[in-house]
Structure 1
Amino acid sequence: MSSTTAPAAAGASISRGRAAQVRLQRFGSFLTAMIMPNLPAFLAWGLITALFIGTGWLPNPILGGYGDASVVGWEGAATQLAMADDGTTFSQYLGLVGPMVTYLLPLLIANAGGRLVHGERGGVVGTIATVGMIAGSTVPMFLGAMIVGPLAAWVMKKLDGLWEGKIKPGFEMLVNMFSAGITGAALSVAAFFGIAPVVTQLSTLLGNVVAWLADHSLLPVMSLIVEPAKVLFLNNAIGNGVLVPLGAQQVTEAGHSLLFLVEANPGPGLGILLAFMVFGVGAARSTASGAAVIQFVGGIHEVYFPFVLMKPMLIVAAILGGATGVATNALFDSGLRGPASPGSILAVLAVTARGSYVGVILSVVLSCLVSFLVASLILRASRRRDLAAGESGDLDAAIAQTEANKGKSSDALAALRGGPAAEAAGEAQAVVGGSRPVRSIVFACDAGMGSSAMGASVLRDKLRKAGVEGVTVVNKAVANLEDDVDLVISQRELTERARLRAPGARHLSVDNFMNSPVYDEVVREAQANRPEAGQEVTQ
């Protein structure tokens, strides 16, 4: 009995582990869908902060919202901006920095979260409720906006469901307007008294945890969680759910935050790719140079994940490299004024705080150096075996260990066993024989911006060179997929979620958005199904 019970129990454990991972990925994807569309606003706020606060590049007391007009000589402008000759002093002006971080950014996040749950009505009601929470709190309400925006939209969605189909014709607009207004007002009051104090305490608690880690020189420990989470696509729940809100709060207090660089530092990934360029073998070595440029300059960190999956021990290099970067920023008291997204060195430098350039640049360089040295030792130790085995070396054993660590078999790792030829054959088989012509293609990734945008660009270029017209290729976040497309291309780890969002579409899984043999098959199919001149395309 034990011989049959043990495998069953192990299978159940694997299933539960995979289900938990998928749920965490969905949660992180939902948080990302609230943050990513609003990153231009974060960047604008970071630039204004870097320029106009008292320690900025172009200190401006009106725009930065600091100082006193009588001291800095801005009496005329202050009087002009007062809108009323009532003796208002310049020290009462908020400038741009304060209102943006207090009101604009949380309200944008709340609106995005509300729209994800219940469309435009959800966005409006979620924003109204979040205003009440902002007014009742004493800290920037990024965490609160992520909670209240979707929650208020969910309440509105449930209420709309109560009278859906029961409203007499002609009264729909009246009911919709008043129901949303009354619900938003009630939730705003509830958020003011009920949710704002709780979220304020939660933000304070999380801030105290970070302060405790800093006081005990333990901030680099965060890399133990963040770096493995990145490779398994679980980092968004940590980055967008915790690090970005806490980092923005630290910026309001200290002018910069190193938390923005815990996940976005391109150094560890670059070090691993450089090690493959020197000590790798086969396809891994030949593709590492291109991946390094994409990762470091383009900021698409996903391109180095397959390299780590091939040799899971390389996660040690990523952890040590990330920890080195965090420790360097902590030592130099350096950081960024806003999120660096994508995680490109150009984005990092663009939002680096004045006076932090030495620390930030050193954090990237040293993290790259450490990850390169550690990864080189790991690759060097197995290089002879890898060369003797041709391309894979100990890849099969490494895949088995990786699957054990993940708790289930992985299609992405299984494809590595057969090499590029097997991948091309398997993916081509999935393409050929579609039930309808492909006229709309969506590249879906977790955030809908970085790697999927690059994949869409590659395929559009291939279609253009092949003379194929009438096929739209766009990129979206998995959470924003709709069931109105012909073909969805996603990374293997995300295909399961993509199918849930677009069950009527055909789905293809790839390991690398930048260089997949499936693209050529898609182009050939599009050419084969191309209508003749004047022939109407039917779905």
Structure 2
Amino acid sequence: MATTTTTSTETQTSAPRPGLRVRVQQFGTFLSNMIMPNIGAIIAWGLITAFFIPDGWVPNEKIATMVGPSIFYLLPILIAYTGGKLVYDVRGGVVGGFAVIGVIMATSDPIFIGDDGGAPMFLGAMIMGPLTALVMKKLDALWSHKIRPGFEMLVNNFSAGILAALMAIGGMFLLAPVLRTVTDWLGDAVNTLVDNNLLPLTSIFIEPAKVLFLNNAINHGVLTPLGIQEAAREGQSVLFLLEANPGPGLGLLLAYSVFGRGLAKASAPGAAIIQFFGGIHEVYFPYVLMKPKMILATIAGGMTGIFLLVLFDVGLRAPAAPGSIFAVYAQTPSGDFFGITVGVFGAALVSFLVGSLLLRMDRSEDGDLMHATAAMEDMKGKKSVASSTIAGGGTATLTGPIRDIVFACDAGMGSSAMGASVLRRKIQEAGFDDVTVVNKSIASLTDDYDVVVSHQDLTDRARQKTSRAVHVSVENFMGSPRYDEIVEMVEASNGAGAGSGVAAEEESSSGELLAEQSVVLRGFASTRNEAITEAGELLLDVGAVDRSYLQAMHDREESVSTHMGNGLAIPHGTNEAKSAIHRTAISFVRYPDGIDWNGHQVKFVIGIAGAGKDHLPLLGQIAQVFTDQDKVAQLEAARTVEEVRRILA
């Protein structure tokens, strides 16, 4: 899963439900998250196709044997695995990757389709992968914590195998016939547009959709699957360039470079370089949002580009991702370079001419580019580093210096404390003595903070509690690259640091928080749930918690993972379970061979029961230990309980 930085505009009392545009964006983003990680594999297939098929650049019969199996089997399975993993981590990826084989066979094997040649099942992969993973997730929840110890692996493996087999069979006989009909309809619709010279009209929808960030739903939901199907049959497809053509954006930015005013004119040349050569099309979106009528320039350029591409009967072997001219040429078949070049630069020329005319006729001043950039980021749902840089800064959403940063988690006593300690040290080293870094539960958040950091699964909840803070989502509390971005944000808003310390809500530590009997050098658990129970039992044995707290630890894990990174997990109860804590205590269990924790290997499990704040200094120390590879190595090599306690405290 990817991390985001957004500005909160929602309060607890007025959190609107997502509108249609937002839902389409979310759907498109999900589709994109299945396709984009596999673009490298799709490009590899495109390159092998371009070079080695009989009419390729350097035909090679043996190498060309990889083309068919890759497009019909490998790529759909990769996409289905990725979609399943998005829903239910590796377990979901495995069952989703297998389940799609039924749809693949029913749409490619002569037993089902005769001599029609079949079609690559990208649409089937994007359905079967997430669907099977979701069913697996629901089934696992039915018997969670109900399996007798020692039978977990047996139940987990056989349940996954049985479900994957049943879903594959169901996909073969239920979904595949529907998908064959749908792909035939879509293919016929595209052919109708081409035959009637209407394909250029798609720019009327595609270009505005790009600016509104609805392009992923169109591109990855329709154009890419249909394009790959056409490329497998014809050797190329113009559909790959309906959205990815960098020409319209280039022409728009060149028009601003010549006839724009102020910041728009000054920044447009740099944006043009990033857009055309880097393939980051979003850098031109603020220039359209600033003057909405400029969308006419990109529509005219897009229509021209498609018309010329169809006229020259050219296309790409595979998707051009990102939409850079380099990526476009990399996927261009031999002999089509002239037509592709005419299509790209023809689109740029028309977009430039129309954009220039609109700017020359416009007597008003250019709009606020910074405001347009912020509007674009709000629509996108995350910070746009490239556009913020072009517009003149990455902290446009801040109204003043950053003074207070809060880490928010469900209970405010485990994950957030560890993350706060890591970031606090980074900010301290940067020399900012007037910045506080604290941790809180989401329920206790107020509008007093400038920056709120939370796990990506909790950011929406945190956003509802504040109305003025910048929100930063992280996946790995121990070593997130977002921490460096926060330090840069502080430097940009506060100026150079000069202090020598950072305020923190911590008291002195007590070594008795980690009792000798609460340290286990070789745990017996072999699964995540067993490890949570083992760590909780140690807390129970020293009288720190009631038995009900163990279930709360499992409930917490089901809502948000307590995997911290660097081989560490810190299971703890939910915020509602604090009444089950008698006193603050911590347990430590080491697993030398490692255990699987939601797809990550964990060797150290630290159970936490925090009644107050007296455990926070020790958590801070633990955070520093696990960001130091030498200290982690010492913990792995420790032979006695006292060695572990000494290293940690």
TM-score, length-normalised on structure 2?
Answer: 0.60
Q: Aligned pair 1:499/2:463, yes or no?
A: no
Deviation at 1:191, TM superposition (A): 0.9
* Alpha-carbon contact 2:260-2:359 (below 8 Å) kept: yes
Shift in alpha-carbon separation, 1:347–1:197, aligned structure 2, 3 A: same
Q: Aligned pair 1:521/2:494, yes or no?
A: no
Name 2:37's counterpart in structure 1. Answer: 37
Name 2:68's counterpart in structure 1. Answer: 98
| 1:123 maps to which of 77, 81, 93 | 93
* In structure 2, distance between residues paired with 1:133 and 1:237: 22
* In structure 2, distance between residues paired with 1:124 and 1:526: 49
Name 1:10's counterpart in structure 2. Answer: none
* Alpha-carbon contact 1:63-1:96 (below 8 Å) kept: yes
Name 1:314's counterpart in structure 2. Answer: 294
Counting aligned pairs with the same residue, the percent is 49
Q: Aligned pair 1:302/2:273, yes or no?
A: no
One-letter amino acid matched to 1:234: L
Shift in alpha-carbon separation, 1:426–1:136, aligned structure 2, 3 A: closer
Deviation at 1:356, TM superposition (A): 1.3
For residues 438-496 of structure 1, the C-alpha deviation after alignment (integer angstroms, 9 at most, x for no partner) is: 9569xxxxxxxxxxxxxxxxxx9xx9x9799xxxxxxxxxxxxxxxxx9789xxxxxx9
Alignment of 1:385-534 (within 5 A): 385-386=364-365, 392=366, 426-429=397-400, 431-435=402-406, 499-500=459-460, 507-508=470-471, 519=488, 521-522=490-491, 524=494, 527=497
* Alpha-carbon contact 1:51-1:57 (below 8 Å) kept: yes
* Alpha-carbon contact 2:394-2:489 (below 8 Å) kept: no
Residue 404 of structure 2: SS of its match in structure 1?
coil
For residues 203-228 of structure 1, the C-alpha deviation after alignment (integer angstroms, 9 at most, x for no partner) is: 11111110110000011111111110
Shift in alpha-carbon separation, 1:234–1:17, aligned structure 2, 3 A: farther
Alignment of 1:71-150 (within 5 A): 95-137=65-107, 138-150=118-130
Shift in alpha-carbon separation, 1:176–1:421, aligned structure 2, 3 A: closer
Name 2:142's counterpart in structure 1. Answer: 162
Residue 379 of structure 1: SS of its match in structure 2?
helix
* In structure 2, distance between residues paired with 1:362 and 1:157: 50
* Alpha-carbon contact 2:459-2:471 (below 8 Å) kept: no
Deviation at 1:16, TM superposition (A): 8.8
* In structure 1, distance between residues paired with 2:256 and 2:458: 31
One-letter amino acid matched to 2:460: L
* In structure 1, distance between residues paired with 2:457 and 2:249: 26
Residue 238 of structure 2: SS of its match in structure 1?
coil
Shift in alpha-carbon separation, 1:254–1:501, aligned structure 2, 3 A: farther
Shift in alpha-carbon separation, 1:161–1:411, aligned structure 2, 3 A: closer
* In structure 2, distance between residues paired with 1:214 and 1:16: 42
One-letter amino acid matched to 2:29: S
Name 1:338's counterpart in structure 2. Answer: 318
Name 1:451's counterpart in structure 2. Answer: none
* In structure 2, distance between residues paired with 1:431 and 1:374: 43
Shift in alpha-carbon separation, 1:530–1:241, aligned structure 2, 3 A: farther
* Alpha-carbon contact 1:270-1:292 (below 8 Å) kept: yes
Q: Aligned pair 1:195/2:175, yes or no?
A: yes
Residue 385 of structure 1: SS of its match in structure 2?
coil
Name 2:331's counterpart in structure 1. Answer: 351
* Alpha-carbon contact 1:130-1:145 (below 8 Å) kept: yes
Residue 313 of structure 1: SS of its match in structure 2?
helix
For residues 22-43 of structure 1, the C-alpha deviation after alignment (integer angstroms, 9 at most, x for no partner) is: 1111100000000000000000
One-letter amino acid matched to 1:432: R
Residue 405 of structure 2: SS of its match in structure 1?
coil
Which of the pair is proportionally richer in strand? 2
* Alpha-carbon contact 1:117-1:153 (below 8 Å) kept: yes
* In structure 1, distance between residues paired with 2:360 and 2:48: 47
One-letter amino acid matched to 1:110: A
* Alpha-carbon contact 2:395-2:489 (below 8 Å) kept: no
Shift in alpha-carbon separation, 1:200–1:325, aligned structure 2, 3 A: same
Name 2:633's counterpart in structure 1. Answer: none
Range that drifts further, 180-189 or 517-526: 517-526
Name 1:232's counterpart in structure 2. Answer: 212
* In structure 2, distance between residues paired with 1:422 and 1:58: 48
Alignment of 1:257-268 (within 5 A): 257-268=237-248
Shift in alpha-carbon separation, 1:188–1:296, aligned structure 2, 3 A: same
* Alpha-carbon contact 2:27-2:217 (below 8 Å) kept: yes
* In structure 2, distance between residues paired with 1:518 and 1:308: 32
* In structure 1, distance between residues paired with 2:313 and 2:398: 49
* Alpha-carbon contact 1:430-1:508 (below 8 Å) kept: no
Deviation at 1:433, TM superposition (A): 2.1
Can you give the 5+ residue segments of structure 2 that lack an aligned partner in the other structure? 1-14, 108-117, 408-419, 433-449, 473-484, 503-619, 625-649
* In structure 2, distance between residues paired with 1:497 and 1:430: 28
* In structure 1, distance between residues paired with 2:286 and 2:421: 29
Name 1:63's counterpart in structure 2. Answer: 63
* Alpha-carbon contact 2:406-2:451 (below 8 Å) kept: no
* Alpha-carbon contact 2:422-2:623 (below 8 Å) kept: no
| 1:173 maps to which of 145, 153, 163 | 153
Q: Aligned pair 1:248/2:248, yes or no?
A: no
* Alpha-carbon contact 1:427-1:508 (below 8 Å) kept: no
Shift in alpha-carbon separation, 1:283–1:196, aligned structure 2, 3 A: same
* In structure 1, distance between residues paired with 2:58 and 2:382: 53
* In structure 2, distance between residues paired with 1:420 and 1:438: 33
Shift in alpha-carbon separation, 1:422–1:119, aligned structure 2, 3 A: closer
One-letter amino acid matched to 1:308: V
* In structure 2, distance between residues paired with 1:411 and 1:256: 34
* In structure 2, distance between residues paired with 1:517 and 1:277: 32
One-letter amino acid matched to 2:166: A
* In structure 2, distance between residues paired with 1:438 and 1:275: 49
Give the number of equivalent residue pairs: 429
Deviation at 1:161, TM superposition (A): 1.1
Query: What do you get for the CA RMSD once the two structures are aligned?
Result: 4.1
Shift in alpha-carbon separation, 1:325–1:18, aligned structure 2, 3 A: farther
Residue 470 of structure 2: SS of its match in structure 1?
strand
Residue 337 of structure 1: SS of its match in structure 2?
coil
Deviation at 1:353, TM superposition (A): 1.3
Name 1:447's counterpart in structure 2. Answer: none
| 2:254 maps to which of 274, 277, 290 | 274
Residue 429 of structure 1: SS of its match in structure 2?
coil
Deviation at 1:500, TM superposition (A): 2.4
Deviation at 1:277, TM superposition (A): 0.5
Shift in alpha-carbon separation, 1:187–1:312, aligned structure 2, 3 A: same
One-letter amino acid matched to 2:490: E
Residue 434 of structure 1: SS of its match in structure 2?
strand
Shift in alpha-carbon separation, 1:146–1:520, aligned structure 2, 3 A: closer
Q: Aligned pair 1:360/2:340, yes or no?
A: yes
* In structure 1, distance between residues paired with 2:461 and 2:496: 24
Shift in alpha-carbon separation, 1:26–1:440, aligned structure 2, 3 A: farther
